[in-house]
Structure 1
Amino acid sequence: MKRYLILEDGTVFEGTAFGSEEASVGEVVFNTSMTGYQEILSDPSYCGQIVTMTYPLIGNYGINSDDFESIEPAVKGMVVREAAEFPSNFRCNTTLDELFRIKGIPGIAEIDTRKLTRLIRSKGSIKGVLTAADEAVDVAKVVEKLQQTELPSDQVAKVSTSRPYPSPGRGKRVVLIDYGMKHGILRELNKRDCDVIVVPYNTTSQEILAWGPDGVMLSNGPGDPKDVEECVEVVRELLGEVPIFGICLGHQLFARACGAETFKLKFGHRGGNHPVKDLTTGRIEITSQNHGYAVDEETLQGTRLKVTHRAVNDGTNEGLCHLDYPAFTVQYHPESSPGPEDSNYLFDRFIDIMNATRKEQQYA
């Protein structure tokens, strides 16, 4: 069965369909990871997006029951050069095609993903539609409709939990605000025996502090931080009340809460091998990233924020800390799924900050 990927600029790719037969509209982006496609398709930060994988063979080790980053994938579609029909791995439970059929996600294979990636790098992230390739499809009308389509701005509400739930432990109590949380974050906190309470994105600061947390984690999530200004106000109210650690969207919301601005990157950072420099130690970390927006360092003056990390490739901001309060954030993903483990130490740093803050409170 043939399928079209039609872009809003009129470019048409014809390939082979896999997964669901449903049509799908989304922002077309690319990810340069060589592995980790299961974590990518289940990362809530991809809500509303059609993901192009630049590595040529996807699905070769199948899908297993352990590596999901969320229960329900939020990705709108996937574009690959070749979709493996017969995966080989001892953990494999099903195939990429079968999973996409079950979850209602369309995919397209056998297209020139190098050409598509170069187009996105040149023009920026672009709207696209995955649809059946047949004579009934009027490409001109599809393009016109696509150009008039407004992409959703409520992605965080779609992927956040609807009610609080616990992940018990005997260590520090952490309230984890779910803006589109990857389960890897929860896993890293559980490894350190944290007593975690996951709460919806729109939980008030009063409700959060009522749990008596030792610290608050601001999770990753999809979309533009400007679309969830109510979350910015909550972070502003928490600042100084409790230690804070933010990741990805949580990093951007923290920056905005402190008075900085954010902006949309031309085609974003999405992959498992992005080099980031720790400006404190001079160490280069190889990081996993997935974001389309960044903090504007030119707006940091007067915010009491210090730049701690910076991207080696394009010089954009990758980390901040507050000069007056126990709070720090990073733009990349230290929970490392998919990707390297260079940045796991940040969770230990969060534990250390919570311990230090508790001691200060005891002897105040």
Structure 2
Amino acid sequence: IVDYQIRKTIINSKRRFNYDEVQKIIETGEGEFAEDILQLDKLAKILRRKRMKEGSFDFNTLEVKFKLDDTGRPLEAYIKTMKDSNMLVEEFMLLANKIVAQHIALPKRGEAKPFVYRVHDFPDQEKLSEFVRFVKSLGYQVSPNLIKKSSEFQKLLDQVKGKEEEPLINELAIRSMAKAFYSPHNIGHYGLGFRYYTHFTSPIRRYSDLLVHRLLFKYIEKPGLPGYTLAELEEICEHISACERTAMEAERYSVKLKQVELLSNRLGDEFHAIISGVVHFGIFVKITDILAEGLIRLRDLDDDFYIYDERKYAIIGKRTKKMYRLGDKVSVKLVRVNEERLELDFLIVE
């Protein structure tokens, strides 16, 4: 970054693209504004490499999308893939958020003013140690510095890219992390490796975006406008962080709902799955192509008496010593669907 300006302006779009159109231009080098788009793509990749080198994580969290009929029932499910066009927009959004946060936190004159930051604390050491123990049990090489150095954590994520267990390991890695939230007290963003970060980028779609726009307008263009006290921002940040958690739960619920609806017509079908959880009453499995999760109950495993071993993330047959462990790949058959309770029950197919 050589220089920047922050101004209240109007964007006049010369052309409105969707991601697929831009992706086609990136791949073929041809189309409207191809020169500009290719230049942006080149810059985005440089920014991304720099960000990763400086300690940012690349969690490739898979997202399930559905094709619905006219009544809203799912016809099929598929996993959305992140392409260069998606990452191009993401990289410049991250950059804008970072610059705006730095601008307020590190003013050229005077003291830092009350502001809304997007923050992410260091992970809980115990949770992270447990995660490392599990990944080692799958046979992956883990640096002893992983807990202290985010760059070593990224090396591990690179190892699992493209593997069947990638979604599981990414999910468990995220669970081992602290949750990001909004705060007027800046502690940095561990996951992105940024010292200063906020949620500012237009179009405004979150209340935090609106707050940041208001604060910027006051500080940069209309100093006389009434602002927010630190106490007010603390209360608002606590509220919008709680609302975000509620929204995420609602989103997870909606995906689960459509997965169960889709599978309600597939009783008796067999699927390839990965063991995503082990508990004292059974094992959770996740279908690898649509990421639907269900349960294999211990009482339905009639070939042996299985005992839960928490240290090994496994259940082990008392007589045969057969082991089903977190991360194992299995073939399963769908035997029960409860749409009301959003529950899927499977059996293991030998």
Give the alignment's TM-score, normalised by structure 2. 0.26
Give 1 or 2: higher helix fraction: 2
Larger radius of gyration: 2
Give 1 or 2: higher strand fraction: 1
Give the alignment's TM-score, normalised by structure 1. 0.25
